[in-house]
Amino acid sequence: MALTDLEIAQACVLDPIDKVAAKAGIPADALEPYGRTKAKLSQEYLDSLDAPDGKLILVTAINPTKAGEGKSTTTVGLGDALNLLGKNTMMALREPSLGPVFGLKGGAAGGGYAQVVPMEDINLHFTGDMHAITTANNLLSAVIDNHIHQGNELGIDPDRITFRRCLDMNDRELRQVNIGLGPKANGIKREDGFNITVASEVMAALCLASDLQDLKKRFGDMLVGYSFDGEPVYARDLKVEGAMAMVMKDAIKPNLVQTLEHNPVLIHGGPFANIAHGCNSVIATRTALKLADYVVTEAGFGADLGAEKFLDIKCRLAGLHPSAVVIVATIRALKQHGGVAFEDLKEENIPALKAGIANLEKHIETAQAFGLPYVIAINEFATDTAAEIGALETWCRENGHPMSLSQVWAKGGEGALDLAEKVIALTEQPNDFEVLYDEKLPIEEKIRIIARRVYGADDVVFTDEAKEQIAEFEKHGWDRLPVCMAKTQMSLSDDPTKMGRPEHFTITVRELRPSLGAGFIVALTGKVLTMPGLPKHPSALDMDIDGEGKITGLF
Amino acid sequence: MALTDLEIAQACVLDPIDKVAAKAGIPADALEPYGRTKAKLSQEYLDSLDAPDGKLILVTAINPTKAGEGKSTTTVGLGDALNLLGKNTMMALREPSLGPVFGLKGGAAGGGYAQVVPMEDINLHFTGDMHAITTANNLLSAVIDNHIHQGNELGIDPDRITFRRCLDMNDRELRQVNIGLGPKANGIKREDGFNITVASEVMAALCLASDLQDLKKRFGDMLVGYSFDGEPVYARDLKVEGAMAMVMKDAIKPNLVQTLEHNPVLIHGGPFANIAHGCNSVIATRTALKLADYVVTEAGFGADLGAEKFLDIKCRLAGLHPSAVVIVATIRALKQHGGVAFEDLKEENIPALKAGIANLEKHIETAQAFGLPYVIAINEFATDTAAEIGALETWCRENGHPMSLSQVWAKGGEGALDLAEKVIALTEQPNDFEVLYDEKLPIEEKIRIIARRVYGADDVVFTDEAKEQIAEFEKHGWDRLPVCMAKTQMSLSDDPTKMGRPEHFTITVRELRPSLGAGFIVALTGKVLTMPGLPKHPSALDMDIDGEGKITGLF
């Protein structure tokens, strides 16, 4: 029987973290260790880095099946392969959220022989960053309600508080709650709800901040709600941004860990990929670029969401210039885009595969639209047939698209040597990277550009509510920010059932939310769940730890 | 102007944690470092310890003023003094809760020149233990509600769930909440509330557990509520104790830090002193006893609560045998017990002081009741007059009570050399330590023994609700556990306005709660707030961190 991800990870004898650091050129005294195999990099060291930037490689994907395409796994395997080729390479990844670990999804540190370790720690509390975010978020919430309870000098309207509490747990019970019940000493009665911590604006702000002082300013800029007069109230009006920044003093430092092949990885920050931008922190990416010649990173969901936001939001705000894009696809997902049901994806189906390639083609066009060279990485599954892989290879060759079969899940870095060579070649060409829109354009215009050029939509429909919000945002001067699209990841359209490459459709924007601390406007095209629930049989019920500290049931 | 606690702490050049460890005889490879100046001790190392136990010294206090008597400060100063006298001494302290740091109370790592450092880290996230407790608690909550939402096989009555959610924040809004509002997908609608994390039963269980497997069993034993048939439902019925233990895999290891004088301190666990027993973990105390010849520890609130529960609960369950008790008193508190208002405590008032000594006398009798030798430590304040201190000294001398003036706040260990010498002398006498009651007695009997012998009450009144609960507990076989009294700390009685040594009073027990995972029955004599609120001007609003990472406003 095949080993589980956890068993593979537990069989790895980890290098001490100072040895991993040395490989990345980081001196031991720059480390703030968390145990023997995890460390944060000290602020002094981060401030001292001034080498020229390495090359930035983005790993993105087609619209996935519900099992995911394997972006993290490909990112880790590609990074290991570049190291095998003698290239000084680091990876920059997102931190997993604790909540889904207890549900169905499990952990998020790669898979098979392309994993980041210590897997258990990374998926549990890691170095405490998530908990610091929860604390900063809920401190702001407590201060908002306390301000109202203690006299409400700012005249905050309890019915118009937009900032929610958060918890790093899959807990549907907390999506919508009434708080402040009971006697008057229990505070004001109002409706609230909890987001999962990765959906907190504190997380998005952390991931786009350049340093702690910038993060403090972003905290101050957060909109918490409106006064009875309809005026915006910001966190800075409550004077709480200093304490929030203090709470984040360690969380702002990136975390160093290693792959199964002992190569250095920075894991730092992991915002939602719908109501936020879905990328690890700017600080981690910038640090890796100073330390390594090649930096492999990823962005959440498919390229329509992940790559677009990585490029239009993160690269724009941080002044990053990527060198290449890897588009991960699976034979399984291509067949699903060609009309095959999830249960039947194990069966060979060449016609469906060929039909489903249309989805891949659209994401290729997206890379081209941004002016970036790309390579397709087929993340191999055991159920893929030679005929299926051959059919895809033929299409790629005939259409002039570079492509590589990636076997990192089964083989680690050895499984991506060809991919790594192709990526190196891409990064040696100059490119014409450009963001898709000028952020000073009106909000509607920015959304139309994304919907047409990235999703292939004919047009965008704005609901009356959305139009009113846009007018309101313009009044407050919030309209000159990049747009963060919240859309289903399952389809290029806003309808999760439309597979392949939908045509002649419109995108409906139902609601807009100002994430002023993060520095973007969220455009919601449907209901977005910011607090997941647990399934009928949560993974947590199968987890255990024995007398020797060995964990089972985590995956 | 006098330096603040934070300024004194920031002026300290900390020893690297391996140097502190070496002083305690702990090898470097037994450390799991968290940064450069904090570490957990590895499980392998803890398991390997088999030296004979050192001597255990409990620091307790009279009923305090609202500013506290300085138990932590005295514990740290006495430990430093014992080290100055060449005695191999460690301290075992409670972990501060993050919530009150943002409120009024500030941190809890000693004060003046008797502090534990790094003060900022200890008062903020420290090594993440609190956050792990929050996670374990809320995982259980999410699983309970999810079980009901997904079909409720166990038939749990949503109106009789006794286990609450928690958060490490002072947030009155969360004391009483309605959860699961909105559509059916948001789960079941019911009433719930959040405790502050230190009031979670997970914390109490951690602090009484002997190791992780014992903690897992305690988690399984926790009562979560009742079925529609009125039968108890335990966490083990939900099969979640394995995941909860996994979440606590690092939190169960004690944390090593240092005093301002670079002496080793274990800080681990910090349960509420009302609905829980208010002492650091058994694991930390046992570890310190293996490592040091003298271990100084503390228990929350005055001796009527803290010492009684330390001795009757912690020492009973862990088989600990203390060697001496230090009873901390301030001239200020004695004057308050003699009838002086809090605002007037700065003024000399010998008659009030003499009257207030009755309170101290009762706590001396408590130490005697447990068969333990004691010394009175007067924690000196700048406002104390020589005449006041002289009057107290005279009373002690005339009545044969050992006493020492402690100046640790101003002088550190140097300020407690006399106290340390007196403590050493006490520990050299054999003692007749005995718990006050047999835990197999009926619940009412156990409570009567505590109320009469420790509080000086005439009798105990049980409300009808309490009587019904006792009958219910007996039915389930929960009555043979020690009792954890929840009573005001301000008075020996259950009326916080009764100062001095009240006489001819009864204690009213209004409610009982089974803390089956912790291993005790809580008896509530009044309303106990398990979720504090923020004051009109929370300390958080004055906190900040600058570009060099320097924190201000934390105290």
Q: Which two tokens stand for residue B543?
A: 């906190």
Active site residue B301: yes
A400 pLDDT tier (thresholds 50, 70, 90): very high
Q: By the CB < 8 Å criterion, does B347 face chain A? A: no
DSSP B95: P
**Contact across the interface for B145 and A175, Cβ inside 8 Å:** no
Bridge partners, A524 (sequence order): A486, A511
Average pLDDT, chain A: 96
Residue B395: active-site member: no
Q: Is A134's pLDDT higher than 90?
A: yes
Q: Would residue A478 show up in a list of annotated catalytic residues for this protein?
A: no
Distance CA B141, CA B255 (A): 27
Over residues A414-445, the pLDDT tens digits come to 999 999 999 999 999 999 999 999 999 999 99
Mean pLDDT, residues A57-62: 98
Predicted confidence (pLDDT) at residue A313 exceeds the cutoff of 90: yes
A299: nearest Cα among A370, A403, A399, A348: A370
Tell me the chain B residues in contact with residue A175 when contact means C-beta distances shorter than 8 Å.
181-182, 186-187
pLDDT, one tens digit per residue, over B103-146 is 986 667 899 999 999 999 999 999 999 999 999 999 999 999 99
> Are B34 and A36 within 8 A, CB to CB?
no
With an 8 Å Cβ cutoff, are A35 and B32 in contact?
Answer: yes
With CA atoms as reference, report the closest residue to B423 among B180, B78, B172. Answer: B78
* Count of other CB atoms within 10 angstroms of residue A535: 14
What are the contacts of B316-319 at 24+ separation with CB within 8 A?
Answer: B316/B435, B316/B439, B316/B482, B317/B208, B317/B282, B317/B482, B317/B519, B318/B208, B318/B210, B318/B282, B318/B285, B318/B286
Residue A2, pLDDT score:
79
pLDDT (mean) for A178-194: 97
pLDDT band of residue A105 (cuts 50, 70, 90) is low
Ramachandran area for residue B110 (φ above 0: left; ψ -120 to 50: alpha; else beta):
left
- Number of neighbours of residue A397 by Cβ within 10 angstroms: 11
Q: What percent of chain A has pLDDT over 70?
A: 99
DSSP A248: T
- Residue bearing the bigger pLDDT, B82 or A103: B82
Please report, for chain A, the start and end positions of each structural domain, with discontinuous segments joined by +: 5-127+251-428, 129-248, 443-524
Residue B549 near chain A (CB below 8 Å): yes
Q: Is A433 exposed, middle or buried (0-12, 13-18, 19+ CB in 10 A)?
A: middle
DSSP code at position B34: B
pLDDT of residue A527: 86
Chain A: residue nearest B166 by CA? A167
Written as six digits, the tokens of B448 are 């009567």
Q: Name the residue among A299, A295, A255 with its Cα closest to residue A278.
A: A299
What is the predicted pLDDT for the residue at A555?
79
B391 has a pLDDT exceeding 90 = yes
Q: HSE, CB side, 13 Å, CA atoms: give it for residue A518.
A: 29
- Fold classified for A443-524: Formyltetrahydrofolate synthetase; domain 3 (3.10.410)
Q: Residues A61, A136, A205, A273: which is the catalytic one?
A: A273
Q: How far apart are CA B15 and CA B18, in angstroms?
A: 8
Res B105: pLDDT: 67
Asked if A149 reaches chain B (Cβ–Cβ under 8 Å), the answer is yes
Chain A contact present for B16, CB below 8 A? no
The predicted-structure confidence for A216-273, as pLDDT tens digits, reads as follows 999 999 999 999 999 999 999 999 999 999 999 999 999 999 999 999 999 999 999 9
Distance from CA of B537 to the nearest CA of A (A): 9
Residue A458, CB-side half-sphere exposure with 13 Å CA sphere:
5
**Which pLDDT value is given to residue A404?**
98
Burial tier of B47 (Cβ tally within 10 Å: 0-12, 13-18, 19+): exposed
- Concerning whether A94 is annotated as a catalytic residue, the answer is yes
Cα–Cα distance, B424 to B254 (Å, whole number):
26
Sorted by sequence, the CB contacts under 8 Å of residue A15 that are 6+ apart come out as A37, A258, A262
Q: Is A266 helix (H, G, I), strand (E, B) or coil?
A: strand
Over residues A330-359, the mean pLDDT reads 96
Which residues neighbour A364 within 8 Å (Cβ) at sequence distance 6 or greater? A327, A374, A376, A401
Q: Which residue has the tokens 């979560």?
A: B224
Residue A526's pLDDT band (cuts 50, 70, 90):
confident
Distance between CA atoms of A534 and A545, rounded to whole angstroms? 21
pLDDT for residue B187 is more than 80: yes
> Is there a catalytic annotation at residue B105?
yes
The CATH number of A129-248 is 3.30.1510.10
For residue A106, the model assigns a pLDDT of 63
* Cα separation of the two ends of chain B: 16
For the question of residue A433 being annotated catalytic, the response is no
Interface contact A249-B551, CB threshold 8 A: yes
ipTM, two decimals? 0.97
Q: Tell me if residue A381 is catalytic.
A: yes
Residue B538 has pLDDT above 90, yes or no: yes
pTM above 0.95, yes or no: yes
CATH topology of domain B5-127+251-428: Rossmann fold (3.40.50)
Does B187 contact chain A (CB < 8 Å)? yes
Give pLDDT tens digits for B51-108.
999 999 999 999 998 888 899 999 999 999 999 999 999 999 999 999 999 998 666 7
pLDDT in tens, A506-525: 999 999 999 999 999 999 99
Give the model's confidence band at A132: pLDDT under 50 very low, under 70 low, under 90 confident, else very high: very high
DSSP 8-state class, residue B365: H
What are the pLDDT digits (tens) for B477-526? Answer: 999 999 999 999 999 999 999 999 999 999 999 999 999 999 999 999 98
Is A392 at the interface with chain B, CB within 8 A? no
Binary contact (B179, A173; C-beta < 8 A): yes
Residue A288's alpha-carbon distances to A21, A41, A57, A254, A302, in angstroms, are: 12, 11, 12, 10, 23
3-state secondary structure of A379: strand
pLDDT at B106: 63
- Measured between alpha carbons, how far is A86 from A380 in angstroms, rounded to an integer? 24
Task: Round to whole Å and give the CA distance between A257 and A299.
Answer: 19
* Residue B1, pLDDT score: 59
Is the dihedral angle over the CA atoms B396, B398, B401, B406 positive or is it negative? positive
Which long-range CB contacts under 8 A does B159-162 form with residues at least 24 apart? B159/B190, B159/B191, B160/B225, B160/B226, B161/B190, B161/B192, B161/B224, B161/B225, B162/B223, B162/B224, B162/B225, B162/B226, B162/B513
Identify any residues that bridge with B484 across adjacent strands, giving them in sequence order.
B522
Mean pLDDT of chain B: 96
Q: Check A126, A219, A272, A409 and give the catalytic one.
A: A409
Chain A residue with Cα closest to B242: A544
Instruction: Read off the pLDDT band of A125 (50, 70, 90).
Output: very high
Name residues whose C-beta falls within 8 Å of residue B344's C-beta, 6 or more positions apart in sequence: none
Q: Which of B404, B431, B555 is nearest to B81 (CA)?
A: B404
Could you report the per-residue pLDDT of B443-458, keeping only the tens digit for each?
Answer: 999 999 999 999 999 9
Average the pLDDT over A51-67 and give the result: 95
Amino acid at B418: D
